Structure 1
Amino acid sequence: MEATNPKALVLTGRVTRADVPGLCAELEALLTVPGTTVVDCDVGGVTDPDLALVEAVARLALVARRAGGVVLRLRDAPAGLRSLLALVGLAEVLGHVRVDPP
């Protein structure tokens, strides 16, 4: 059963490796709400998708997975990010991440 009001994590601007721990902490805070089964990760506002953003998505997916199978849904993923995820083989590896079409 999917949450009717999923929690949201919004990424904007350029995501750097230095941002990753803070983003993971923000997701962990969202996951403390009882009954959270889905978190929407809106990446539509990111600029310059690169491997730092791929690392952020991978780490966020790991945090969600460790929280007991919470589904992390990428929203408004730019084509560049989708291509990078596929290129590095993370589109399949991140089984708990669902990339919704733009």
Structure 2
Amino acid sequence: MSSGTLPGLPIVDATTPAVLVLPGPVTRDETPRLCAEVRARLAETGGGTVVCDVAGVGPPGLAVVDVLARMQLTARRAGGRIRLRDPDPALCALLGLVGLAFEVEGQAEEGEPAGGVEEAVESGDPAL
């Protein structure tokens, strides 16, 4: 027995974040449009997180930092947040230099070990 697809909208898990791909190069002129996109994605998903794929934003500069900061502010005002996907290490360094903290996909939470890391057990340690 086979089942066909049902008509209508696909079912989306509430934990699946919306994804916004930032085209490169990003300029400050695009800020209003990108902020509107963030608001729309958060409205579609009922809040939560918007994942911004920043792999193609071009060389990191203050224009990119400004756009990302305004997008983060827009998301926070709408009750959400921004998570970066595939940021260039230079962009992460620049964001840190100006004091902006963004969550990055695949990055371990603060206080959590990185994925695939196991704690060592010393011989003589009591079993828990």
Q: TM-score, normalised by structure 1?
A: 0.83
Change (3 A) 1:34 1:40: closer
In 1: Cα distance, 2:46 partner to 2:27 partner:
31
Look up the match of 2:105: 100
Does the 8 Å contact 1:6/1:36 carry over to 2?
Answer: no
More helix by share: 1
Asked whether 1:20 is paired with 2:64, we answer: no
Q: Percent identity?
A: 52
Asked whether 1:88 is paired with 2:98, we answer: yes
| Structure 2 unmatched ranges of 5 or more | 1-12, 108-128
Correspondence for 1:50 among 61, 85, 99: 61
In 1: Cα distance, 2:38 partner to 2:22 partner:
11
Give the RMSD, CA atoms, in angstroms: 1.9
| Structure 1 unmatched ranges of 5 or more | 92-96
**How many residues are treated as equivalent by the alignment?**
95
More strand by share: 1
Divergent runs of 4+, >6 A: none
In 1: Cα distance, 2:22 partner to 2:45 partner:
23
C-alpha distance after superposition, 1:2-35 (max 9, x if no partner): 9432101111211111111111111111122152
Bigger relative contact order, structure 1 or 2 (CA pairs below 8 A, ≥6 apart): 1
Change (3 A) 1:19 1:3: same
